[in-house]
């Protein structure tokens, strides 16, 4: 059965294209306008509203909630204080990533964790004797991502305390008299917030947010625009940039945090006081330097890109719609050294960019590689350089 989010009466009325995709069993707008680039620029220049309600949501609470999560999550949740959120991940016992998500800490013994796939049984089966409960609350809340440079002034007009939130901070508040949680989080790599509302309050909160945004060029945006934004921001997408170790057929389709550029999450891994799942395998990988890949951005050489198409008698395409599938990466001598997982023409950077995995020795920014592209039914190899992520990183994101 296809379900609809608490905001669907509003998103359906605004979806001029009638294009929808399935996300976790829910309808999610592909794009609202005739051009997804219009929605993309709304986020980069003003603000956009995205319905992120289909995410799975789990409330984890009880006297041992912190201890339980510190043994489950690869990032140390003990460093996340009440009123903060963390981007995190969890691994299997071989150090391969099961999934990533955001954990919101509401109180000393109360957390909410988001995930793209069902994880209730995975966490629940590991409770043991801990005094902790896990409840799925996915259907109880609607969540709006409100993203872009004008998001702060709009949010502050509704929730003054939210306007002062630090990056990854959160606060309980009310909008139009309805209780909400506002967090300074998002999936666009820009200044932005997410608003959690009870299902029965969702439409009231939507209407209030839209009314407060009037005259500022704020519009809803769909999945294609979101994918454009997240590639520029170097943000990982499940089943595109990595696969869950639970469902991968072979280890070639599994990834470790180090291989995805997430080793920064493992601060304090040396300490034996937090034996989280996968810790021993990750310590061994780091000590023995067995990471197969390094995650990097790619900047395509536009002179070489234009030359290849010009010589083929074609106009060099500037296609902003993401290609979210493998494109192979080679060294200058023609040896395969990795693969790109996401590719697009960035309207903000005015060049083709990609997210890729390469051999660790080539991950240093500025390394010379070749990206395979199909031109006139033949493979051509365009010059590119590795670059640090995020490829687009406005200071306002964390200011």
Per the DSSP assignment, residues forming a β-bridge with 22 are 27
CB atoms within 10 A of CB 56: 18
Q: Region 264-285: what's the mean pLDDT? A: 96
Contact between 267 and 76 (Cβ < 8 Å): yes
Q: Which helix (H) or strand (E) holds 309?
A: helix 302-311
Q: Mapping DSSP to helix (H, G, I), strand (E, B) and coil, where does residue 387 land?
A: strand
CATH class of residue range 8-56+139-221 = alpha beta
So where are the chain's domains?
Answer: 8-56+139-221, 294-396
- For the chain, give the mean pLDDT: 97
Classify each residue of 262-298 as buried b or exposed e, where b means 16 or more C-beta atoms within 10 Å of its C-beta.
Answer: bbebbeebeeeebebbbbebbeebbeeeebbbbbbbb
Q: How many CA atoms lie within 13 A of 93 on its CB side?
A: 2
Q: Which helix (H) or strand (E) holds 369?
A: strand 368-375
DSSP symbols for 93-116: TTS-EEEEEEEEEEETTEEEEEES
Give the model confidence (pLDDT) of 318-356 as tens digits: 999 999 999 999 999 999 999 999 999 999 999 999 999
- Euclidean distance between the first and the last CA atom of the chain, given in angstroms as a whole number: 43
| Element counts in the chain: helices (H) and strands (E) | 9, 19
Indicate yes or no: pTM above 0.95.
yes
1 pLDDT higher than 90: no
Q: Region 46-65: what's the mean pLDDT? A: 98
Q: Region 349-377: what's the mean pLDDT? A: 97
Distance (Å, rounded) from C-alpha 167 to C-alpha 397? 8
Phi, psi of 41, deg, nearest 5 = -70, -25
Q: Residue 392: which of 348, 341, 356, 350 has the closest Cα? A: 348
Domain 294-396 has CATH 2.40.30.110: yes
Give the model confidence (pLDDT) of 180-232 as tens digits: 999 999 999 999 999 999 999 999 999 999 999 999 999 999 999 999 999 99
Chain Cα centroid distance, residue 342: 13
Q: Region 369-385: what's the mean pLDDT? A: 97
Tell me the chain's radius of gyration from C-alpha atoms: 22
74 pLDDT higher than 90: yes
Q: Residue 319: which of 22, 50, 48, 35 has the closest Cα? A: 35
How many residues in the chain?
399
Distance (Å, rounded) from C-alpha 366 to C-alpha 383? 11
Phi-psi category of 234—alpha, beta or left, where left has phi over 0 and alpha has psi -120 to 50? left
């Amino acid at each position: 059965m296809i379900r609809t989010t608490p905001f669907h009466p509003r998103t359906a009325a605004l979806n001029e294209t009638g294009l929808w995709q399935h996300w976790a069993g829910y309808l999610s707008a592909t794009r609202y306008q005739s051009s997804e680039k219009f929605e993309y620029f709304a986020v980069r220049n003003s603000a956009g509203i995205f319905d992120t309600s289909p995410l799975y949501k789990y409330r984890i609470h009880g006297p041992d909630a912190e201890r339980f999560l510190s043994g489950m999550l690869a990032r140390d949740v003990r460093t996340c204080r009440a009123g903060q959120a963390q981007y995190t991940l969890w691994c299997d016992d071989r150090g391969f990533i099961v999934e990533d998500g955001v954990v919101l800490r509401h109180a000393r013994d109360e957390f909410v964790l988001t995930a793209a796939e069902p994880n209730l049984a995975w966490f629940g089966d590991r409770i043991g004797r801990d005094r902790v409960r896990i409840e799925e609350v996915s259907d109880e809340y609607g969540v709006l991502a409100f993203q872009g440079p004008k998001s702060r002034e709009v949010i502050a007009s509704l929730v003054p305390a939210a306007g002062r939130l630090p990056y990854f901070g959160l606060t309980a508040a009310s909008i139009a008299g309805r209780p909400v949680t506002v967090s300074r989080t998002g999936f666009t790599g820009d200044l932005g917030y997410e608003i959690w509302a009870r299902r029965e309050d969702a439409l009231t909160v939507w209407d209030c947010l839209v009314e407060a945004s009037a005259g500022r060029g704020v519009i809803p945006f769909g999945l294609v625009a979101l994918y454009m934004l997240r590639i520029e921001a170097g943000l990982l997408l499940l089943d595109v940039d990595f696969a869950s170790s639970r469902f991968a057929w072979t280890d070639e389709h599994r990834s470790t945090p180090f291989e995805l550029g997430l080793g920064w999450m493992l601060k304090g891994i040396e300490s034996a006081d937090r034996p989280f799942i996968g810790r021993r395998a990750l310590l061994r990988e780091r000590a023995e330097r067995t990471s197969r890949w390094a995650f990097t951005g790619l900047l395509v050489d536009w002179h070489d890109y234009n030359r290849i198409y010009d010589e083929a008698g074609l106009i060099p395409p500037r296609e902003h719609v993401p290609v979210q599938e493998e494109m192979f990466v080679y060294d200058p001598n023609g040896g395969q050294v990795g693969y790109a997982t996401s590719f697009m023409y960035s309207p903000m950077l005015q060049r083709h960019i990609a997210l890729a995995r390469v051999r660790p020795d080539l991950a240093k920014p500025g390394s010379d590689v070749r990206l395979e592209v199909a031109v006139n039914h033949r493979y051509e190899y365009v010059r590119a350089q590795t670059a640090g992520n995020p490829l687009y990183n406005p200071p306002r994101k964390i200011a």
